[in-house]
Structure 1
Amino acid sequence: MRLMFVGDSMTVGSAGDHTWRYRMWQHLCATLGGPFTIVGPRHELHDPWADAPVSLDYADPGFPRKARHHLAGWGEGWCHMTPLIRETVARHRPDLLLVSLGLIDLGFYTDAADTAENLRLFIAEARAANPGIHMVLLPVIPNTRALTDPLFLAECDQLNERMAKAVADLDTDASPLLLASPPPYWDPDTHTYDGTHPNALGEHLLAAAFADAMHQAWDLGGEYSPGV
């Protein structure tokens, strides 16, 4: 199995982070029961001092470079990844995409309706490169802005409704789509270090959302354990 992480700043991580990608790698090593490869065109973390994706300072230096690959970027959303995904899938040949996008789109670039259209186009573009690709999508997880700005929270809720409809409309036997459940009881004060980006607890919750969805729907891997 070849898998690729696609995401925004919550997925790429910042210098000194473990990242939820690392937590997922640990989980799959422990539970998958077979070989897997993590693919993608990038492997760096965001460096807040350089304001660029140039850091290799992962919290665990034992995180293998071959497992650090991803397609994620600080400040990048559906509107940035959709134009890249066909070529990236064709080049790196993932079988499975784990996608966490949307919050940055609504915060800076597009409303819920336009973001949902980019999401649908992303799915079509990924399938154009690999008609059998599998995808797991994570709903938008509210940050502190969403908890204090009712209009922004409404946009987040609307996008999640549109995402659920897109998954229901576009799911096929040949190219399954899976909508993960958002982490229960997510609290920006407890699970992030700045109101948006996950701390260690948040990283485990994000990895668990994907891992448990794949295990329950596809019997892939096992139930997530933060003790891994």
Structure 2
Amino acid sequence: MLRLLFVGDSMTIGSAGEHTWRYRMWQHLRASYDGPFRIVGPRETLHDKAADAPLSYEYAPDVDPAFPRHHLAGWGEGWRHMAPLIHATVREHRADLLLVSLGLIDLGFYTNAEQTAAQVRRFVDEARAANPRIAMAMLPVIPNTRADTDPSFAAEVALFNELLAKAVADLDTDRSPLLLASLPPSYALHHDTYDGTHPSASGEHKLAAAFADALYQAWDLGAPYDEAG
């Protein structure tokens, strides 16, 4: 059985009342993956903006009750926060595929591009120490409002995305494959986010599609993403 773990920041945990791209990905895999799979992870909640804490269980009203809400994602968390957690999480939950979307928080508040890339390598090492055969798909830092208005930050994001691609190429092995998903080509801040950073419903679909299409193209896992489906 495929045991899938979502790892991410505020764009992955989502906030109260949302579907999340995790849900869109689960729907896609349930329709397209021909083997058994399970979503695993130590957390289940959404971020509650009023309390400024991950306390909410209130997903969008039409979210399927069967949706497994497990994840390792947090509002304001980045590579530097997840690298120390991933070994224990992979070991305890026996994850064998990680879908990872991180980096914006690191670059915005904690580390520069080179330091953030070092955390990526630490993360990979820690995940492999828990499961030497683990597979990982990673998404570059996606378009966001700060990069759109701050040229120096945009340059830092671009550099990190280059370093992330290099790390994936350097660390990829047959035993523990790494995959770099592509940035959603049509991602538009005014349409695919509700605040310049966090995905709207259309953005959720595009983030799920970025992972789904990469998994299908590289590893023949599932199928191309069908937003209409």
**Which range, TM-score by smaller chain?**
over 0.9
The TM-score, its normalising length taken from structure 2, stands at 0.98
| Deviations 1:49-108, CA, capped at 9 Å, x for gaps | 010000011004543466110000000000000000000000001110000000111011
- For 1:90, the equivalent position in structure 2 comes to 91
1-structure distance, mates of 2:33, 2:117 = 32
The one-letter code matched in structure 1 to 2:106 is D
| Deviations 1:181-225, CA, capped at 9 Å, x for gaps | 000021111100000000000000000000000000000000101
- For 2:228, the equivalent position in structure 1 comes to 227
2-structure distance, mates of 1:182, 1:116 = 18
| Deviations 1:5-61, CA, capped at 9 Å, x for gaps | 000000000000000000000000000012110000001000000100000110045
- For 2:128, the equivalent position in structure 1 comes to 127
2-structure distance, mates of 1:60, 1:121 = 38
Contact 1:5 1:40 in 2 (8 A): yes
Contact 1:99 1:137 in 2 (8 A): yes
- For 1:208, the equivalent position in structure 2 comes to 209
Gap runs ≥5 in structure 2 = none
SS of the residue corresponding to residue 67 of structure 1 reads coil
Name the Cα RMSD after superposition. Answer: 1.0
Q: 1:64 to 1:34 in 2, by over 3 A?
A: farther
The TM-score, its normalising length taken from structure 1, stands at 0.98
Contact 2:16 2:48 in 1 (8 A): yes
- For 1:147, the equivalent position in structure 2 comes to 148
Contact 1:142 1:153 in 2 (8 A): no
2-structure distance, mates of 1:65, 1:211 = 20
SS of the residue corresponding to residue 60 of structure 2 reads coil
- For 2:167, the equivalent position in structure 1 comes to 166
- For 1:7, the equivalent position in structure 2 comes to 8
The one-letter code matched in structure 2 to 1:82 is A
Gap runs ≥5 in structure 1 = none
Count of aligned positions: 228
